[in-house]
A and B are shown apart, each in its own frame.
Chain A
Amino acid sequence: MNGVWEWFAWLNQAHGINLPVFYDSYDRQRFFAGLLTTLELSALSVVASVVIGLIGAWLLGTSSIIARRLVHGYVHAFRNTPPLIQLSFLYFAVGNLLPRLEGVGGSSRPLLDGFAWAVITLSLFGGSFNVEIFRSGIEAVPASTIEAAESLGFGRWRLYRHVVLPLALRICLPALSNNLVNLVKTSTLAYAIGVPELLYVSAQVWSDTMNVREMMNLLLVAYVGIVGVLSFGLRRLETALRVPGLGTVGGRI
């Protein structure tokens, strides 16, 4: 590993391409901590947004008008407002109203820190899109399939668990992947409330070292890499889950 770090030191001396995040141990530590924060932020919001999407789509299928209206209201509110303002609204305005935790020595700290608010906002933002994606997936399950399962004596829960959801998931997977990839890209917004994620630590490094050009290029490579790995994994999942025949009968969404 040391050889790699030394190669970057040589790159700086010989060619003036200055990437201290590889050869300087302090910069390296904060850069990789930022990378880890970005990965955590993305993973938590991806999982939470999928859960929100499933719950929302399930509520849309229930007979309660109030539940349906609430879900519709949530979906439209979060889909049609800028995520950056949602984040500021929740972090600065709503966060300001929450009680503060008493710390040691009379100091107090907010109940939820920037990272928690970023996860909440990203999950709600991504979830609002996922609700619609899952709903359209469930609607695209052919009625004849559902009728066939009903005639075989499937109850409501078993029908959902064994017939509707497995098919709906496969139908909406391309749209879902697209949205999840977008969510990972949106995680850069946490920069605005000072969460030390990849963009934030990179900005710290380039203002300390004045190597804007190198850091910007490294940042682009890093994000294109993260997004590439995620979309590659999701595409593999799509292939692995493919059911022969589905997708040729109007399942192409």
Chain B
Amino acid sequence: MNALRVSGRFGVGMMGLLLASVLFGEVQAADGSASLLATMWKWAPLIGQGFLLNILISVVAMTLGTVAGLGLGLGQMSPIWPLRHAAQIVTQFFRNAPWLVLLFYCILLLPYEMRLGGLVVAMPAWIKATVGLALPVMGNVSEIVRGGVQALPPAQWDSAEALAFNRRQTLWMVILPQAIKPMLPPWMNLYAVLIMATPLVSVVGVEEAMTLTRFALSAENRSELLLPMYLALLIAFFAYCYPIARWTARLERRFAVKL
């Protein structure tokens, strides 16, 4: 309930700021030009569609990155040492490279189409951008998986061994089901980081909310629109990210290990 009240207060504050900036712009605007609110309303559906693309990209990249990262994370704990070292190096590499550089890498170096057997699959820019965002997600998920598994008491492995579970059974039936809970808050944090990284794809020309806002601004060519339009975009992202952040914080508190 408290969280609701706090986010309510934030919502009111944000909206107040937006209205103030619109009013400020209306005062600045030259006589005879269309009202700022009407102009922003005109562009809202288009930019809203762009925002849906942001969400779509984030969901697809998160799914790809989580599946690949789970494999990589388990590889980091493999008993086979070449595999373990390779997985550790790959993880560190993708965690340490800047997101924007990985994005450029995929956009510029992935082919326009891929041949899978006889099938030709087109690779539009947004798919390549999604792959580019999935790579750093993979590196981070890999570390989350390793951290979650290693945080479990080692006795869990020993008891499973005593019950004649083999390594694969221990991992899938004993360790991972218990490790999921402590892995959830950092995983959700990572999703928040990812959704906030999706505007990066505007740099490579994918038509998401940021690109369309810039497009609208250059089409209207009115400097008093800059402040309210960018503020509205910030509020849209805030409205999507803030509830996730509150929920993550609550889960973190609930799962916290009391020492």
Which A residues contact B (CB, under 8 angstroms)?
73, 76-77, 79-86, 88-89, 92-94, 96-97, 181, 185-189, 191-192, 199, 203, 212-213, 216, 219-220, 223-224, 227-228, 231, 250
Contacts and interface: CB of A to CB of B under 8 A. Distances in A.
B101 to A, nearest CB: 6
Contacts, number: 106
Nearest to B193: A182
Contact of B238 (A80, A187, A224): A80
A77 B238 contact: yes
Nearest to A250: B259
A220 B226 contact: no
B197 interface: yes
Interface of B: 10, 13, 93, 96-102, 104-105, 108-109, 192, 195-200, 202-203, 210, 214, 223, 226-227, 229-231, 233-234, 237-238, 241-242, 245, 259
A73 B13 contact: yes
B96 A228 contact: yes
7 contacts: A76-B10, A77-B238, A85-B233, A88-B214, A94-B227, A185-B96, A220-B101
Closest 9 CB pairs of A and B: A93-B226, A89-B230, A185-B98, A82-B196, A80-B241, A188-B100, A93-B227, A227-B96, A250-B259
Given A89-B230, A216-B108, A223 B259 contact: no
Contacts of B238: 77, 80-81
A209 to B, nearest CB: 14
Contacts of A231: 96
A96 B223 contact: yes
A85 B192 contact: no
Contacts of A192: 203
Interface of A is mostly: helix
A145 to B, nearest CB: 16
Given A84-B210, A185-B97, 6 more contacts: A76-B242, A80-B196, A81-B237, A84-B202, A94-B227, A223-B101
A189 B197 CA distance: 10
Given A73-B13, A76-B10, A188-B101, A82 B197 contact: yes
B10 A79 contact: no
Contacts of B195: 82
Contacts of B199: 82, 84-85
Contacts of B105: 216, 220
Contacts of B202: 84
A186 to B, nearest CB: 7
Nearest to A216: B105
B109 A213 contact: yes
